[in-house]
Amino acid sequence: MSGETTAQVATGAGGAAAGRPVLEAVHVTKHFPVRGGLPRRGATRKVVHAVEDVSLSLYAGRITALVGESGSGKSTLARLLAQLYPVTGGEVRLHGRSVRALRGKAFRDHVRQVQLILQDPFASFNPVATIAGTLRRAVALHHPGKRGRERTAVIDDLLTQINLVPPRQFTAKYPHELSGGQLQRISIARALAADPEVFLADEPVSSLDVSIRLGILNLLRRLTEERNAAMLYVTHDIASARYFATDTAVMYAGQVVESGPSEAVTQQAAHPYTQLLIASAPDPSRASADRVKDIGQPPSLIDPPAGCRFHPRCPYAMERCKVDTPASFDISPGHTARCWLYADDEEARARRAENAEAVATLTAPVSLDIPAPPDSPVTPDSPVAPDTSTD
């Protein structure tokens, strides 16, 4: 058991991104009580193990992606970092200082430095308030000295920063009069009002149309770079993590299973779950038409499996996977996986070789240069990945 993933990512990736993390989660655990009536006598109250012993660090000027499926705990982790929920165990540190700021002034101080951007732009605006009204509240909170005209000037400046010009065209509008892309920009503006050091973007583009996603992501990237802010990019789309984030952490059933530089995690995925995720992602740029045969689904988080939480679905699972929680193993500098395949013993070596062979062509590109033969919709000349699952 080791939670040192973070430190390794820090020193490993890029090297240049030095210094201390701005915001970090240290062995953070979050359990939600299961709702439903009064607690039963005798039995302990059931909990959902939403996040279990997760450590993650965010650095200034860098984007860290947190990838996982729904229910993996990725959004919960973002909200724990935003201090919207109290942690059950572990701690959240801002500039190395532990914070527990759930209400009042302490919370507002935290929020001033850490801002959350939500997934659905249509839902994240009060439908009966104008854009100016919504932004004015954020400005009033974070620029308490400013009044009237000055506030309007701040709002105009915010809208200009996110490329909504001229600002006056948007301020008088209601949310339903704007498009998803415009609204998502305005939620970013709302976050900017606090001039934060950390952005926590929870699936900021998932509910947007494909053609406008890129614009939003580029905006977020520009803001991160210009302000030297730290950014957590929560997503279910591992391909976008590859393009957008310096580092990537993959979550499964409440735990980080793999993390490291994005290119390493997506191109040399070590954990069988990451491999499954990559194999499943629709992507015509890859040749491997033959896919993983996986019929499983994520486990119940009320009663998660012992050992590695992925072992019931894992084609490479060994005996110890059912019993012991995997330790963190270094794959390459900064790239770690919590998987017993990387243990230093006979069985693991054998399994590891098996796995390596199976996923060798996982991200091999389809060749674009040779036109396909007329009657073949699939390119037969490209290598086909063997079935990565055994049963």
Question: Residue-wise over 350-381: b if at least 16 C-beta within 10 A, else e?
Answer: ebbeebeebbebbbeebeeeeeeeeeeeebee
Residue count (the chain)? 391
Residues in region 302-361 near other proteins by CB under 8 A: none
| The binder of other proteins chosen from 54, 201, 257, 276 (CB under 8 A) | 276
Give the residue with the Cβ less far from other proteins, 36 or 346: 36
Q: Is 64 in the site for other proteins (CB under 8 A)?
A: no
State the minimum distance, in angstroms, from the CB of residue 328 to other proteins: 23
Q: Which residues pair with 28 in a beta bridge?
A: 54
Among 6, 8, 171, 187, binds other proteins (CB under 8 A): 187
In the complex, the smallest distance separating the C-beta of residue 345 from other proteins, rounded to whole angstroms, is 29
- Within positions 94 to 133, which residues make up the interface with other proteins, using CB under 8 A? 107-108, 111-112, 115-116, 118-120, 123-130
Shortest separation between residue 3's beta carbon and other proteins, angstroms: 26
For residue 166, whether the previous peptide bond is cis, meaning omega lies within 30 degrees of 0, is: yes
The least distance separating other proteins from the CB of residue 2, rounded to whole angstroms, comes to 27
Given the complex with other proteins, which of 120 and 157 has the nearer CB atom? 120
Residue nearer to other proteins on the CB measure, 8 or 83: 83
Q: Which listed residue (42, 149, 295, 346) binds other proteins by CB under 8 A?
A: 295
Output the six-digit token pair for 67: 């990838």
Question: CA nearest 28: which of 84, 97, 90, 94?
Answer: 90
Residue 76 binding other proteins, by CB under 8 A: no
192 binds other proteins (CB under 8 A): no
Secondary structure (3-state) at 379: coil
CB closer to other proteins, 2 vs 169: 169
Measure the CA–CA gap between 7 and 377, rounded to whole angstroms. 47
Inter-helix orientation angle 210-227/180-192, to 10°: 20
Q: Centre a 10 Å sphere on the Cβ of residue 41 and count the other Cβ atoms it contains.
A: 5
Give the residue, chosen from 62, 93, 242, 338, that forms a contact with other proteins under the rule CB under 8 A.
242
Q: Does 223 bind other proteins (CB under 8 A)?
A: no
Counting DSSP H helices and E strands in the chain, the numbers are 12, 12
Q: Does 154 bind other proteins (CB under 8 A)?
A: no
Nearest to 302 by CA among 39, 43, 31, 42: 31
Using CB under 8 A, pick the residue from 91, 157, 294, 354 that binds other proteins.
294
